[in-house]
């Protein structure tokens, strides 16, 4: 999907169409998740600090992500893909590999082009958004093709032309070559794919190590036989928070770690999983990051056990100077819950339900105290008199709403209310395409 989050917001909000839209973290330490193509003109791109984006594009619309909304669209698109083949490997909400040959949907260039073109039309009809298609003989090349196809296009790499296409391109297009490996290669005088080939496999392995070196050399030769894998088991579950200002108070650090442990376990249980290894992550004031982990004798999904392990791990970490991020994760997952003796003992000492019942109430109370939690910028609302709209901003006891729906062709009217206006309530996003037209 092209500039997925930003495009979805533009489709949902007519007043943003044709405008620079930036979706991402809005706080002082946020980063850009997606910038609309209009915003990219100003030099804004994903992973850029939002503060920097504001300097480059001060008049853009800044929105926090609405993942539930994007997920609903994503599921519609993934459904279209699964109609082409059972072998669909999602990479994220907006990207997936599809093995068209395994699905019997395509077997040569012509049938592939046809399937791709049809798919693009279906995506547009069902979601009102544009998607790009890359067609090629391997995952790596399909991915490169789809990047070349953006926005709103289709690119097919013809068999036999792969090496010539790849040769002059930067090493950075190869999967697994990020900033660090790119620098490493550049210091060895290697900046293009053909220079990797020219250096020879032994030299690349010497530079980058065995696994990485052999893999990368194969990619440079356009050799990639990785299969499309439909179902991949989750290997870990984690949650983390970056704080708007560094936390210096050790007691507060402990409290945050306990909260994160509980959130992590909630996610773990929702997925029907349990795990053996508890990981604590700490990013200090200077951005140095460290992790500490502890492996239990058996898998657990007990909040008390995870909280206690996380607390133990924290005691071995020096947080003087302040902490900018804390995280708690669980790995070594099992899809069953084997209660170990410690978990049971902890449960008996600490009456069951107390911690899980108390935590959400505290959270809700705090969000309410912070004020206007339900009037988050960009989120949908409904007003008894004016109908459906979305929050443009809120603060100081006021909330500003633009009343418009995805099928409006003109920007809607803006009105401001008190945050406690009895006629105003949070609402679900409206479908981008009227129900009757959906596939």
Q: Could you tell me the two tokens for 305?
A: 């056990």
Nearer to DNA, 305 or 424 (CB): 305
Q: Find the radius of gyration of the CA atoms of the chain.
A: 25
**Beta strand 323-334 pairing with 274-284:** antiparallel
Quick one: DSSP state of residue 137? Answer: S
Contact assessment for residue 170 and residue 192, using Cβ atoms and an 8 Å cutoff: yes
Sheet harboring 32-35: ordered strands across?
Answer: 32-35, 21-24, 61-63
Q: Is 211 in the site for DNA (CB under 7 A)?
A: yes
Nearer to DNA, 131 or 327 (CB): 327
Nearer to DNA, 359 or 427 (CB): 359
Q: CA 254 to CA 280: how far, in whole Å?
A: 12
CB of 356 to DNA, least distance (A): 19
Residue among 210, 231, 348, 361 that touches DNA (CB under 7 A): 210
Q: Is 322 in the site for DNA (CB under 7 A)?
A: no
Q: Is 182 in the site for DNA (CB under 7 A)?
A: yes
Q: Residue 217: how many CA atoms within 13 Å on its side-chain side? A: 17
Instruction: Tell me, yes or no, if 95 is annotated catalytic.
Output: yes
Q: Which 370-409 positions form the footprint of DNA (CB under 7 A)?
A: none
Q: Is 118 in the site for DNA (CB under 7 A)?
A: no
Determine which helix (DSSP H) or strand (DSSP E) holds 297, and give its type and residue range: strand 289-300
Nearer to DNA, 337 or 419 (CB): 337
Q: Which stretch binds DNA (CB under 7 A): 69-77, 284-292, 339-347, 376-384?
A: 284-292
- Across the chain, how many H-helices and E-strands are there? 15, 16
Of residues 38, 89, 95, 122, which has the active-site annotation? 95
Sign of CA dihedral 349, 365, 268, 293: negative
Q: Packing angle between helix 354-370 and helix 303-315, nearest 10 degrees? A: 70
Q: Is 191 in the site for DNA (CB under 7 A)?
A: no
Residue among 59, 189, 231, 235 that touches DNA (CB under 7 A): 235
Q: CA 213 to CA 177: how far, in whole Å?
A: 11
**Beta strand 424-426 pairing with 61-63:** unpaired
**Per-residue binding letters, 331-370, with DNA (x by CB under 7 A):** xx--------------------------------------
Q: Is 33 in the site for DNA (CB under 7 A)?
A: yes
Q: Is 3 in the site for DNA (CB under 7 A)?
A: no
Q: Is 224 in the site for DNA (CB under 7 A)?
A: no
Q: Is 29 in the site for DNA (CB under 7 A)?
A: yes
Question: In this structure, which long-range contacts are made by residues 49-56, counting pairs with CB atoms below 8 Å and at least 24 apart in sequence?
Answer: 50/22, 50/24, 50/25, 50/26, 53/22, 53/24
Residue among 18, 41, 43, 52 that touches DNA (CB under 7 A): 52
Which residues of the chain form contacts with DNA (CB under 7 A)? 25, 28-31, 33, 46-47, 49, 51-52, 54-55, 91-92, 94-95, 143, 174-182, 209-212, 232, 234-242, 267, 277, 287, 289-295, 324-325, 327, 329, 331-332
Residues assigned a catalytic role:
95
């Amino acid at each position: 999907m092209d500039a997925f989050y930003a495009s979805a917001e533009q489709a949902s909000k007519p007043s943003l169409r044709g405008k620079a839209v930036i979706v991402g973290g809005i706080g002082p330490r946020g980063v850009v998740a997606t910038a609309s193509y209009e915003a990219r003109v100003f030099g804004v791109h994903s992973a850029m600090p939002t503060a920097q984006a504001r300097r480059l594009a001060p008049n853009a619309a800044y929105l926090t992500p609405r993942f539930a909304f994007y997920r609903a669209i994503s599921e519609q698109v993934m459904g279209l893909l699964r109609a082409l083949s059972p072998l669909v490997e999602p990479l994220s909400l907006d990207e997936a590999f599809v093995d068209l040959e395994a699905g019997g949907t395509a077997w040569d260039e012509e049938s592939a082009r046809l399937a791709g073109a049809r798919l693009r039309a279906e995506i547009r009809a069902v979601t009102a958004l544009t998607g790009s298609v890359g067609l090629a003989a391997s995952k790596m090349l399909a991915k490169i093709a789809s990047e070349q196809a953006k926005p709103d296009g289709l690119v097919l790499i013809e068999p036999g032309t792969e090496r010539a296409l790849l040769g002059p391109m930067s090493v950075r297009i190869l999967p697994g070559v990020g900033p660090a490996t790119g620098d490493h290669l550049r210091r060895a005088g290697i900046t293009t794919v053909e220079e990797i080939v020219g250096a020879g496999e032994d030299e690349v392995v010497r530079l980058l190590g065995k696994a990485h070196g052999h893999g990368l050399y194969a990619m440079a030769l356009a050799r990639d036989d990785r299969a499309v894998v439909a179902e991949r088991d989750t290997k870990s579950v984690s949650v983390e928070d970056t704080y708007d200002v560094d936390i210096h108070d050790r007691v507060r650090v402990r409290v945050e770690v306990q909260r994160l442990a509980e959130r992590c376990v909630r996610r773990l249980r929702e997925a029907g999983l349990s795990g053996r290894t508890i990981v604590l992550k700490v990013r200090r004031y200077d951005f140095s990051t460290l992790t500490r982990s502890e492996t239990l004798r058996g898998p657990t999904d007990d909040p008390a056990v995870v909280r206690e392990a996380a607390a133990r791990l924290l005691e071995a970490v020096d947080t003087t100077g302040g902490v900018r991020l804390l995280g708690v994760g669980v790995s070594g997952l099992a899809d069953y819950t084997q209660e170990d003796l410690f978990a049971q003992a902890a449960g008996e000492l600490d009456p069951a339900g107390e911690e899980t019942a108390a935590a959400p109430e505290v959270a809700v109370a705090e969000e309410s105290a912070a004020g206007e939690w339900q009037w988050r910028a960009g989120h949908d609302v409904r007003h008894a008199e004016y109908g459906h709209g979305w929050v443009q901003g809120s603060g100081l006891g006021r909330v500003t709403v633009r009343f418009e729906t995805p099928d409006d062709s003109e920007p809607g009217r803006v009105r401001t209310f008190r945050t406690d206006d009895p006629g105003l309530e949070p609402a679900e996003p409206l479908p981008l395409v009227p129900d009757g037209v959906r596939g």
